[in-house]
Structure 1
Amino acid sequence: MYASERHQAILAKARLVGRVEVKSLAEELDVTPETIRRDLTVMERRGLVQRAHGGAIAVDRLGVEPGVADRDAVYTDEKERIARRALAELPDGGSIIIDAGTTTSRLASMLPTHIELTVVTNSIPIAATLATRPNISLHLLGGHVRSQTLAVVGTWPQDELATISVDVAFLGINGLTADRGLTTPDLEEARIKTLFVESARRTVVLADHTKFGRQDFANVAPLSLIDTVITDSGIDSELLREIEQGGPDVIVA
């Protein structure tokens, strides 16, 4: 059995029963547990499963969007590297948007103190991080706060975004694919992200490797509107090439 056939069999079972175990999969597919672990790693990078102790869970069986605390606790090293590399994309002064997200929050905490920046955000945690910084002119969008992401959404921030233009937008995202571009679970949050892209002269997406190959419910923007994607070294090389062919430069941190 080829690897692609194993992946299909593993995914079909995970979707049917919810959770799969390494030991039982190895026995059923007549391969070693190490082979199954490698398969699950590849499938997680493609956004098909989420690794769990001793096995994995199909992403589309998780049922709920993870909260900020849950997302902040995973892939911490990768997010730190991505955020640190994103500092090189900052304008030398000027204005930026920082989208809500756990990787973008790390970028906010790393912003230099020696340059004057105007920062627009829809994130309550990011606003709290930057509110007392003397070199930051902070603009927090007003509206309804989503408890899952602590992001401000709704018609109020949409109206505000129609009046601004910034140098760079730093976007967090849930999924990136060559055919659907950027996607996220919530329609209201997707609309704000779309307006972020439209309001910026350049858009830089911060996304760890698990976001590549994953598709969520709400469309944000095609890859052709994205200038740069910064990810980590866990990215699958085939997925990286697919995203690059869609238009943006992909930087591996």
Structure 2
Amino acid sequence: MYAEERQQAMAQLIGQHGRLSVVQLSDEFKVTTETVRRDLSSLERIGLVRRVHGGAVPASSLTVIESGLSERDRANTLAKDQIAAAALQELPPAGSVVVLDAGSTTGRLAALLPRDHKLTVITHAVPIAARLAGLPHIELHLLPGRVRTTTHAAVGTDTVAALADVRADVAFLATNGLSAEFGLSTPDRDEAATKRAIVRCARRRVVLTDASKIGVESSQRFAGPGEIDVVVTDAAVRDDDRAALERAGLDVVVA
């Protein structure tokens, strides 16, 4: 097989699987890992794949266009329900302060908060605030800021400034992408700044993400792997992805 034919086949295979490691591609095409890395570099230069730690993903995996909240809420619904239920084990004791980041899975967690467990909840997500408003076991604080139409979340300098005065016991975070090398990322700069402030304000940080987002890298990083304590994901997570996250120091909980 000529190099051009191999590279074309490699790009098609990565597109089908969503993510492949250098070792997997080396085994598949019976070439050295050095050859695979050169092929991936050539494919990246022409925009067919994007290199990530240990392998490659389709170019489209580096999300530039952000899906709306309603669209994301309809994706991977069973996995998100399972993740939210598993995340209940990460709740701090009654009377603690938690921050709920905007997201479809964190919204599911909000719906599952036990009614015999009093908490102070701080959020910048309008749908989460609407769900929790008026519940007797929740002391709710809604952060200020400009509300984005895409995520229905308050962002901006006012949001970040308000979070600077917060000390939370646990923050439950959502993400558009998570990789062991790049960390947590999202496409929007203001959203990233708000998430970064949430990470800084909490003693413990728990990420809720379905497996489809693991290995994905968006343009704006808001936390490195070392800034996160726990990742709660679903059973579709790849073994090599889980191992890479654990090597980066993360506790991976599979719902």
**TM-score if structure 2 supplies the norm length?**
0.78
Match of 2:213 among 211, 214, 225: 211
CA contact (8 A) 1:190 1:218 kept: yes
- Whether the aligned pair in 1 keeps the contact of 2:85 and 2:109 (CA below 8 Å) is yes
Amino acid at match of 1:119: V
Identity among equivalent positions (%) equals 42
Partner of 1:119: 121
What's the CA shift for 1:64?
Answer: 2.5
The corresponding residue for 1:74 is 75
Aligned to 1:33: none
Q: Cα deviation per residue 1:108-165 (whole Å; 9 max; x = unaligned)?
A: 0000100110000010000000002111000000110111111110000111111110
CA RMSD across the alignment: 2.3
Aligned to 1:8: 11
AA aligned to 1:212 is I
Residue number in structure 1 paired with 2:87 = 86
1:65 maps to what in 2?
66
Counterpart of 1:134? 136
When normalised by structure 1's length, the TM-score is 0.79
Q: Is the 8 A contact 1:47 1:214 kept in 2?
A: no
Is 2:80–2:108's contact at 8 Å kept on the other side of the alignment? yes
Unaligned runs of 5+ in 2: 17-54
2:152 maps to which of 150, 158, 163: 150
Rate the CA distance shift 1:115–1:214 in 2: closer, same or farther, 3 A.
Answer: same
Q: Per-residue deviation at 1:244?
A: 1.1
Distance 1:116 1:10, change over 3 A: same
Question: What SS does the corresponding residue of 2:66 show, helix, strand or coil?
Answer: coil
The count of corresponding residues between Structure 1 and Structure 2 is: 212
Question: Which portions of structure 1, spanning 4 or more consecutive aligned residues, are displaced by more than 6 angstroms?
Answer: none
Q: Counterpart of 2:109 in 1: which secondary structure?
A: helix
Q: CA deviation at 1:10?
A: 4.5
Q: Is the 8 A contact 2:15 2:57 kept in 1?
A: no
Could you tell me how far apart the structure 2 residues matched to 1:4 and 1:224 are?
35
Partner of 1:181: 183
Q: Which amino acid aligns with 2:11?
A: Q
> In the aligned structure 2, how far is the partner of 1:238 from the partner of 1:177?
11
Q: Evaluate the alpha carbon distance shift between residue 239 and residue 111 of structure 1 in structure 2; reply closer, same or farther with a 3 A threshold.
A: same
Match of 1:220 in 2: 222
Residue 215 of structure 1 aligns to a residue whose secondary structure is coil
Whole-angstrom CA distance in 2 between matches of 1:121 and 1:47: 35
In terms of mean alpha carbon deviation, does 101-110 or 174-183 score higher?
A: 174-183
- In 2, distance between residues paired with 1:234 and 1:12? 18
Q: Secondary structure of 2:197's match?
A: helix
CA distance in 2, matches of 1:12, 1:101: 27
The whole-number CA distance in structure 2 between the counterparts of 1:47 and 1:64 is 20
Secondary structure at 1:114's aligned position in 2? coil
Q: How does 1:41-60 map to 2 (within 5 A)?
A: 48=57, 58-59=60-61
Consecutive unaligned residues of structure 1, counting only runs of 5 or more, are: 14-45, 50-56
Residue 203 of structure 1 aligns to a residue in which SS? strand
Distance (whole Å) between structure 2 residues aligned to residue 252 and residue 95 of structure 1 = 25
Per-residue deviation, residues 68-103 of structure 1 (Å, max 9, x unmatched): 111111100000000000001001121100000000
Do the aligned partners of 1:99 and 1:122 also contact (CA within 8 Å) in 2?
yes
Report the CA distance between 1:58 and its aligned residue.
Answer: 3.8
Alpha carbons 2:81, 2:108 under 8 Å: kept = yes
Post-superposition offset of 1:8: 2.2
Secondary structure of 1:233 counterpart: coil
8 Å CA contact 2:231, 2:251 repeated in 1: yes
Distance 1:112 1:12, change over 3 A: closer
The question of whether the paired residues in 1 share the 8 Å contact of 2:61 and 2:217 is answered with: no
C-alpha contact 1:47 1:211 (8 A) present in aligned 2: no
Deviations 1:160-211 (A, max 9, x none): 1111101000000011111111111111111111111110000000000011
Structure 1 CA distance, aligned partners of 2:213 and 2:12? Answer: 22
Deviation at 1:9, TM superposition (A): 3.0
When residues 239 and 84 of structure 1 are mapped into structure 2, their CA distance, relative to the original with a 3 A threshold, is same
